[in-house]
């Protein structure tokens, strides 16, 4: 009998220890803070996660989306980093290039990019720059020769809309007039349709993932002038890459290095998912696994296929390493970035 009690005690202790090591989400709600307006591609991905991710967490919690737009998702990033508790109940969908704002000392930045808890990303992709077809800028050479530069829209520093035109100015000698401060993608769509701006840079994945871009492309309302991937994307095989043009024009190595650092955001994909700093290893493991399983679900993959989303997932561990790499740069690179981004 004594042995039986001892065995039961050991079993109970082991059970309680295991329970303590595996956080339960039962009766709780996980929020995905989206740094863009409802209907933006970040928002569409987040809502797709919300429909499936809860079933892959212990206790099967509800998963809700909360939009927190502003400053190119800077507001959302600051919130996740500083306000949300490190309890595994808050995720963030933010711009992949926000680390650039940190590197140049932007005062709006209230986070350390490398200290976010990195959950995962659904894809890795480059960006493109498109122009209204009826604008007088039919090619990059037209932009170079123009007396008045084309107007490109952007939400803020660290977004594709801001980074790509400024990088093209620095590397290829093109000129653009940036119109910033738009709350999100929908406002930029309207600005282009109304003729307030001529152009916009956006990730390739986002361009082929939602309207009105899909119809704009099919109808010829816009034309794509350049892409930033190292290799031509199969969806736009006739569009030259920045790296091809830098090679063709014999651009100095210093400018090529600058492009490599500035375009490092492509490694995070268009829609990286983060959580708060200081998250426990147990919560981190659970969230990363749940996110990965969500991307593998047949229902999720079917929705992705219908929406034209490419799934080439990147694990949170890989993003964590990349976040360290891109933010650890020598002073001369930081100085070039400050010049590039107008600081």
The pLDDT tens digits of the residues spanning 59-77 come to 999 999 999 999 889 999 9
**Angle, CA 202 vertex, CA 206 and CA 266 arms, to 5°:** 85
Give Cα separations from 183 to 100, 160, 217, 283 (angstroms).
19, 14, 23, 32
Q: What is the pLDDT along the chain (343 residues), one digit of tens a residue?
A: 555 455 554 454 444 444 445 788 999 999 999 999 999 989 999 999 999 999 999 999 999 999 999 988 999 999 999 999 999 999 999 999 899 899 999 999 999 999 999 999 998 778 999 999 999 999 999 999 999 999 999 988 768 899 899 999 999 999 999 999 898 889 999 999 999 999 999 989 889 988 999 999 999 999 999 999 878 888 999 999 999 999 999 999 888 888 888 888 778 888 999 999 999 999 999 999 999 999 999 999 999 999 888 898 999 999 999 899 889 888 888 998 888 776 5
Give the per-residue pLDDT at 15.
Answer: 45
Strands, DSSP E only, in 209-339? Answer: 222-227, 273-275, 314-315
**Angle, CA 174 vertex, CA 169 and CA 175 arms, to 5°:** 85
Strands, DSSP E only, in the chain? Answer: 29-34, 62-67, 90-93, 117-121, 127-132, 151-153, 177-179, 199-203, 222-227, 273-275, 314-315
Give the per-residue pLDDT at 139.
Answer: 97
CA atoms in the 13 A half-sphere facing the CB of 2: 0
- Give the Cα separation of 309 and 297 in Å (integer): 14
Residue tagged 């995962």 (tokens): 120
Give the per-residue pLDDT at 183.
Answer: 86
Sign of CA dihedral 98, 102, 108, 110: positive
Give the per-residue pLDDT at 286.
Answer: 98
The SS3 assignment for 114 reads helix
Give the per-residue pLDDT at 158.
Answer: 66
Following DSSP, what letter does each residue of 86-106 receive, concatenated? SSS-EEEE--TTTHHHHHTT-
- Give the Cα separation of 60 and 26 in Å (integer): 6
The SS3 assignment for 78 reads helix
In the structure encoding, which two tokens stand for residue 115, read together?
Answer: 């200290």
In the structure encoding, which two tokens stand for residue 227, read together?
Answer: 């892409």
Give the per-residue pLDDT at 34.
Answer: 98
Give the per-residue pLDDT at 343.
Answer: 54
312 close to 124: Cβ distance less than 8 angstroms: yes
The residues that bridge with 219 in the sheet, in sequence order, are none
Sorted by sequence, the CB contacts under 8 Å of residue 76 that are 6+ apart come out as 33, 34, 35, 68, 69, 70, 92, 93, 94
- Give the Cα separation of 83 and 45 in Å (integer): 23
Give the per-residue pLDDT at 16.
Answer: 42
In the structure encoding, which two tokens stand for residue 109, read together?
Answer: 């930045």
Give Cα separations from 127 to 116, 237, 247, 260, 310 (angstroms).
24, 14, 18, 13, 14
Give the per-residue pLDDT at 205.
Answer: 85
Other beta carbons within 10 angstroms of residue 282's beta carbon come to: 13
pTM (2 d.p.): 0.74
Closest among 42, 39, 157 to 105, alpha carbons compared: 157
Q: At what angle do helices 253-262 and 160-172 cross, to 10 degrees?
A: 170
């Amino acid at each position: 009998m004594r042995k039986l009690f001892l065995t039961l005690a050991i079993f109970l202790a082991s059970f309680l220890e295991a329970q303590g090591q595996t956080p339960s989400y039962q009766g709780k709600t996980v929020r995905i803070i989206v740094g863009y307006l409802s209907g933006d591609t970040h928002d569409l991905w987040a809502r797709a996660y919300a429909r499936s991710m809860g079933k892959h967490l212990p206790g099967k919690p509800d998963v809700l989306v909360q939009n927190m737009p502003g400053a190119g998702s800077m507001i959302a990033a600051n919130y996740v980093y500083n306000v949300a508790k490190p309890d595994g109940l808050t995720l963030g969908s933010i711009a992949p290039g926000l680390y650039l704002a940190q590197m140049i000392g932007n005062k709006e930045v209230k986070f350390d990019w490398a200290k976010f808890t990195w959950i995962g990303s659904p894809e890795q992709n480059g960006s493109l720059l498109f122009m209204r077809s009826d604008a007088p800028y039919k090619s990059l050479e037209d932009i170079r020769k123009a007396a008045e530069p084309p107007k490109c829209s952007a939400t803020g520093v660290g977004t594709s809309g801001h980074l790509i035109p400024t990088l093209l100015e620095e590397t290829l000698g093109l000129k653009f007039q940036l119109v910033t401060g738009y709350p999100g993608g929908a406002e930029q769509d309207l600005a282009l349709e109304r003729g307030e701006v001529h152009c916009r840079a956006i990730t390739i994945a986002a361009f082929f993932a939602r309207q009105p871009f899909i119809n704009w492309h099919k109808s010829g309302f816009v034309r794509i002038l350049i892409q930033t991937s190292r290799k031509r994307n199969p969806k736009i095989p006739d569009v030259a890459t920045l790296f091809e043009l830098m090679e063709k024009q014999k651009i100095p190595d210093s400018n090529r290095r600058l492009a490599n650092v500035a375009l490092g955001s492509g490694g995070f994909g268009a829609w990286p998912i983060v959580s708060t700093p200081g998250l426990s290893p147990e919560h981190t493991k659970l969230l990363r696994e749940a996110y990965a399983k969500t991307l593998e679900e047949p229902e999720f993959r079917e929705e992705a296929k219908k929406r034209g989303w490419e799934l080439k997932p990147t694990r949170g561990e890989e993003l964590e390493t990349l976040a360290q790499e891109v933010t650890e740069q020598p002073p001369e690179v930081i100085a070039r970035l400050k010049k590039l981004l107008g600081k």
